[in-house]
Structure 1
Amino acid sequence: MNQKLNWLFALAIIIFSVYSCKKDDASPVPVISLSVTTDTLSVAFGDSVIIKATVGNNVQVEHSWKLNDSLFSKTADFRYKPSRAGDYKLVYAGGNAEGHFTKNIVLRVAAPVRPITAGSGRYISVVFDYLPAPGQFVNEEGLGDKNAPKGIIGGTDALLHLGAYGGYVVFGFDHSILNKPGYDLAIYGNPLPPPMEWSEPGIVMVSQDKNGNGLPDDEWYELAGSEYNAATTKKKYTITYYNPKATADVQWKDNLGNTGAVEINPFHDHSYYPSFAANQDSISFTGTLLKNTFGLMDNGFIYINTGFSFGYADNYSSGDDYAKNHFNSFNIDSAVDANGQAIQLSSIDFVKVYTGQNDKGNTLLGEISTEISGAKDLGF
């Protein structure tokens, strides 16, 4: 009996010793800290981001950094130089079998801002792109030919014809336009006031140079005007014009199943299809379509095209007091993305204006087509 008790006591000691050894051999929970403790890190464009992970109790751990949900590295240090402005989602994870530590950080990279210098001007300094839709002044020297955009640089004395729906011009300034309280941008056109009103509303879009390359190849945002949420406004509207390769009406069709034509009139007896377009068979434009406002005055004799309250170029608007200012005014705060969500932009670098109505008008007055004569920075 005593031998059996002795044997059981010895077995208990062995088990306790093994268990104690296992407890002593176990790795402690890692103590990990990052050199950045905030949830949002503001980064100047062009700067590198360096974040270090430190293991305080010097145990072995595995590190992982994910950038925008993709594995970036497995090192202790995160080193990255963002190539464009915007928000980046960064997730650090580190640990071992005994415990883990995670941290979510938003890297907020501001868009580069080109400052105003002693040599800066308030008016357009460069036209990046010009592609009018077919129209009565297209291909006419100084109004709608490939050299016509030069006229709107540096002042407001010229006139640039954008043609029928979708025709556009893209321009910029020699500095970034800052988003300040109130209106930020002025665009000049040639609308006529009531009662014989003649507006040809153009939609305005803006963009930031988020990749810092000086070119308008970043995302565009529409400046939402008074008609943006109207039931009569069509989003993601596409129209295609077909070159008749002659002095003839230019046929079109759209993504709503409609067809029509930009009609030749006797006052402009030439081809209305832009001879300098890269595609000489057809051209397509996509954007926001505004309702048509072309019609006769109450007297039944004079045709008019009425404008909208605010937010459009070449528009005799009451909302931004065209009668007083002699230009249309725009606020960067009205920018929306492709889904209609408001976007906060601290500055802009590029502007696009395109004809927003699709109306052939008549053979006396021609199609509805936006014209602009220049633009300026209102905060200059």
Structure 2
Amino acid sequence: MNKYFLLSFVLLALLFSCSKDEKELFPDLRMAVTDKVSTVAVNTEKTFAVNIADGKTLSNEWILNEVVVGKETSYTFKPTLAGDYTLVYKGSNHLGSFSYTYQINVPVPVIEPGANSSKYISRVFEYLPAPGQHINQATVGSPEQAQKLVGSIANSVSLGGFGGYIIFGFDHSVKNQEGADFGVYGNPFTPSFHFSEPGIVMVSQDKNGNGLPDDEWFELAGSEYSKATTIKNYEITYTNPKAAANVTWTDNQGKSGEVINISRGARNYYPLFAANQDKITFKGTLLPSTLSTSGLITNAPFEWGYTDSYSSGDDYATKGYNSFDLSWAVDKDGKKITLKTVDFIKVYTAQNVNAGALGEISTDIKGAVDLSIK
């Protein structure tokens, strides 16, 4: 009897000891996508998921660039903007936690040139000039005239005073190659009677893939960009006189003035096709005046990096256009930016100068050319 009792006690002790040693373990997890580095195109989907073994339940978190975006066992990533993304999965319960990190590259959409691609402008997206002597003239200062830049370098459109701009693109992405990448045509006068009307050029990529110039802009920094005489973040506001009269302006430097109406009352210089018919504001980089009124009125060009400028450093005399290199691109803080391609180009008048009897300095543009296409 004692033997049986002792044997039963030993068996119970062994059974109790075994159950005590069997610890509950954190579940085995398997990621459906195991590659930690991947590429996903803009506006396309890729699903990431976790498989949890043993029927266990976990608290799930998907974290995209440090923001929680999901709490299920799967997450569908659909980027609306090119860039680099970090996606982290975290699973946890009272027994522990698990994490898995993905690096996802979403490249900027690129439209490759085809056999029939044009080297000239294929689309004018926006034309909004500042007030000026040619504005509201059908043949040089109207939206209809701006559209004539498509496929041609034979027509001309005025951008008016400081800040007036035009935005255009080609039927393909412009690639950043060795040396100059594209050219912009203007109509500056030769050194025998120097009269340039310099415009700054900006570029943008179609990072959201919607075909519209609504992404970040980068200035192509020309010869004057870093000089003390150049004013960054300049802002000017013009007021519509609602008559054929001088157009008044004020700026963020505490100055004010007028765009002088030299047409003897022929028309209003304020763009009558602008959305706001009371006031209009432009922002950008202001280049210093190069005006001389000693003898003939002249306006000297800058060395390189601006359009409608008879630049010696750009060899305008030989080429007939100003050249631009995408490697000059800088962001709003002046930091150099590497762009492999661009899809949109913006040109705006970069001086705020009254040239007396010749009117305001206003950049003219006749077209543009992708220098990689012959």
State the shift of 1:373 in Å: 0.3
Pairing 1:365–2:358 present: yes
Pairing 1:27–2:21 present: no
Name the structure 2 match of 1:161.
158
Pairing 1:326–2:320 present: yes
8 Å Cα contact 2:27/2:53 also seen in 1:
no
* Structure 2 stretches lacking a partner, 5+ long: 1-8
Deviations 1:281-309 (A, max 9, x none): 1111111111111124xxx3122212222
Question: Residues 240-255 of structure 1: matches in 2 within 5 Å?
Answer: 240-255=237-252
Name the structure 2 match of 1:302.
296
Q: Matched residues in 2 for 1:312 and 1:103: separation?
A: 49
State the shift of 1:130 in Å: 0.7
Question: Residues 1-380 of structure 1: matches in 2 within 5 Å?
Answer: 21-28=19-26, 35-38=33-36, 40-54=37-51, 60-266=57-263, 269-296=266-293, 300-362=294-356, 364-380=357-373
Deviations 1:18-69 (A, max 9, x none): 887455233247565563443x432233432233335578865433111233
8 Å Cα contact 2:85/2:104 also seen in 1:
yes
Q: Matched residues in 2 for 1:268 and 1:325: separation?
A: 38
Name the structure 2 match of 1:3.
none
Paired AA for residue 373 in structure 1: K
Q: Matched residues in 1 for 2:86 and 2:70: separation?
A: 14
RMSD: 2.5
The 1:102–1:28 alpha-carbon spacing in structure 2 relative to 1, beyond 3 Å, is: closer
8 Å Cα contact 2:167/2:344 also seen in 1:
yes
Q: Matched residues in 1 for 2:332 and 2:202: separation?
A: 11
Q: Matched residues in 2 for 1:19 and 1:199: separation?
A: 95
The 1:106–1:341 alpha-carbon spacing in structure 2 relative to 1, beyond 3 Å, is: farther
State the shift of 1:75 in Å: 2.8
8 Å Cα contact 2:202/2:347 also seen in 1:
yes
Q: Matched residues in 2 for 1:240 and 1:22: separation?
A: 80
Q: Matched residues in 1 for 2:177 and 2:52: separation?
A: 46
The 1:25–1:111 alpha-carbon spacing in structure 2 relative to 1, beyond 3 Å, is: same
Q: Matched residues in 2 for 1:102 and 1:342: separation?
A: 36
Q: Matched residues in 1 for 2:272 and 2:45: separation?
A: 47
The 1:152–1:273 alpha-carbon spacing in structure 2 relative to 1, beyond 3 Å, is: same
The 1:203–1:99 alpha-carbon spacing in structure 2 relative to 1, beyond 3 Å, is: same
State the shift of 1:269 in Å: 3.7
8 Å Cα contact 2:234/2:252 also seen in 1:
yes
8 Å Cα contact 2:41/2:79 also seen in 1:
no
Q: Matched residues in 2 for 1:247 and 1:217: separation?
A: 34
8 Å Cα contact 1:310/1:320 also seen in 2:
yes
Pick which of 281-290 and 23-32 moved more: 23-32
Deviations 1:104-140 (A, max 9, x none): 4332211222222333211111111111101111111
Paired AA for residue 305 in structure 2: G
The 1:177–1:240 alpha-carbon spacing in structure 2 relative to 1, beyond 3 Å, is: same
TM-score by length of 1: 0.87
Q: Matched residues in 1 for 2:323 and 2:297: separation?
A: 26
Q: Matched residues in 2 for 1:194 and 1:270: separation?
A: 32
TM-score by length of 2: 0.88
The 1:255–1:103 alpha-carbon spacing in structure 2 relative to 1, beyond 3 Å, is: farther
Deviations 1:144-189 (A, max 9, x none): 0231102211111111100000001111111221222221111000
